[in-house]
Amino acid sequence: MFTIDLLRHGALEGGIKYRGKTDDPLTLQGRQSMDQVWGSLAGEIECIVASPLCRCASPSKAWAKQAGIHCIIEPRLAEMNYGEWEDKTVEAIKREYPGMLEQWRIDPTGMRPPGGEAPEELRQRLSEWWQEARVRFDAHHILLVAHSGSLRMLIALLLGHPIAYTRTIDMPYVCWNRIIYRQGESRLMDVNRP
């Protein structure tokens, strides 16, 4: 058995946009909010695994150093590559790609942002990571610090749900969820805790 806490990064400079590989920094409030969550988890966590983007990696490295635990930077936890949608607002994407974002928000199965990554590809890289992680972290309590898209997909994967399920998961900034993995089954224990 092991416990996985999933933490989405905080608010970013530049407002709300589609960011996958775009590596904007956290706002001061975004970082402070993440630090508050870490403060409530710090005594429980044995290892932090983070996306390589600075909004996840920077706080994770600092927390691990403070706690004297390992921080693993894991490229497979990075956000989906949104291709031509990168760094664009919802309004801009709707204007440039009529109807596409609306369908994406209902069920992105079989779709791909122009020049970007398909959700099936994201699921595959997370699945590869999970196959390793469930052995590597057995009997541990870990914290994953990542992104809305990658965390939603990981939750769907671990619970055995299709890609469309990702659209039913609310994932605001700095929310955290807890999954318990035991004897080949994953259970979502806490959802969107502040």
pLDDT digits (tens, 9 = 90+) for 24-45: 999 999 999 999 999 999 999 9
Give 58-106 pLDDT, tens digit per residue.
999 999 999 999 999 999 999 999 999 999 999 999 999 999 999 999 9
Site of tokens 């920094």: 25
Task: Give the pLDDT score at 85.
Answer: 97
pLDDT, one tens digit per residue, over 92-147 is: 999 999 999 999 999 999 999 999 999 999 999 999 999 999 999 999 999 999 99
How high is the pLDDT of residue 194? 54
Q: Looking at the DSSP assignment, which residues form a beta bridge with residue 46?
A: none
Q: Is the pLDDT of residue 190 over 80?
A: no
φ/ψ of residue 160, rounded to 5: 75, 25
The structural domains of the chain, ordered by start, are: 2-193 (3.40.50.1240)
pLDDT for the residue numbered 189: 86
Q: Are 133 and 157 spatial neighbours (Cβ–Cβ below 8 Å)?
A: no
Is residue 193 very low, low, confident or very high in pLDDT (cuts 50, 70, 90)? low
For the beta sheet containing 185-193, the strands, ordered from the edge strand earlier in sequence to the opposite edge, are 70-73, 47-50, 141-146, 2-8, 176-182, 185-193
- Tell me the backbone φ, ψ of residue 178, rounded to 5 degrees: -120, 130
**For residue 151, what are the CA distances in angstroms to 42, 67, 120?**
20, 24, 14
| Average pLDDT score over the chain | 95
Q: Report the residue count for the chain.
A: 194
Query: Any bridge partners for residue 54, and if so which?
Result: none
